[in-house]
Structure 1
Amino acid sequence: MANTYTQIHIQTVFAVEDRQSLINPNWKDELYKYITGIIQNYNHKVLQINGMPDHIHILLGMRPTQSISELMKQIKQDSSKWINTRRLVRGKFSWQSGYGAFSYSKSQVHGVIQYIVNQEEHHKTKSFVEEYVELLKESGVDYDERYILKPVI
């Protein structure tokens, strides 16, 4: 739309079904490239992507042409299919339902990029659930404990 200007920075966080550590270091970079392609196909821009074997963080510059829920549906659906078609895991791969989405101003983008880049270091001292709850609280998001991602038993 002519004369429309936006600056929308969103960090999304989502986990593997049952928080299983299925994202293998041998193919995670290829997965990240594939997810980046999905996002770019919808004319959004990936600013940073990284994660751990059980979850992924993506910081993106979003265009107002699509809802975050629709984009997340496509990312999770298409990347699951990509993993399953290549038989990269035993059994069927799927993402846990739901996701976190957090907005940031331009002045916060660099810090969020560094946070995502340093996931491996960060998770030496903090579990994914602790991290996720911290993100929810920092962003002022009301949440129901029943729906917070539970650790693998």
Structure 2
Amino acid sequence: MGKEELSKFIKALEVKGLLKFNVEEFDVRFKIQKYVLLAKALGIDLGYTYNLYIRGPYSTGLTDDYYSLDEEYSNADPTEYLPKIEKLYNLVNNKDVEWLELAGTLFSLYNTYNEEGLAKGNKEAIINHAISIKSWASFDYAKNVFNELEKYEFIS
């Protein structure tokens, strides 16, 4: 989709109060990574591919693009994305980066299991897989995050 669409999406996140765009701040870059990933569940696919890394799903293409935003961002009109990200806002508002890291990991694993036809009925396996990767997360905490992803229909 390109940097123009990414600019509009980030501007919409800013309007909703989910971040203040500053590419120099790690937490902002981290949130952009996770928000763009989770937005796929809302039908907002900005065209980035992800791989699992230390801090959860990560897209090198997305990193390249947000580091090079300049004129596209200053001229971006977020109007089309504002209604589309309402569910994202409800899910992630006031969540810390650890929650986002685990949510992104669970979302990514769920989609991988789903592509292989294994997601249905394997909630516990997905959670156990996530906590094997994120050893700092307890089963109960991961289950709560998974349940929130289900509640807001990011996974079904």
- Hey, which of these two has a bigger chunk of strand by percent? 1
Report the TM-score when normalising by structure 2.
Answer: 0.31
Larger proportion of helix: 2
Q: Give me the TM-score of the superposition, normalised by structure 1.
A: 0.32
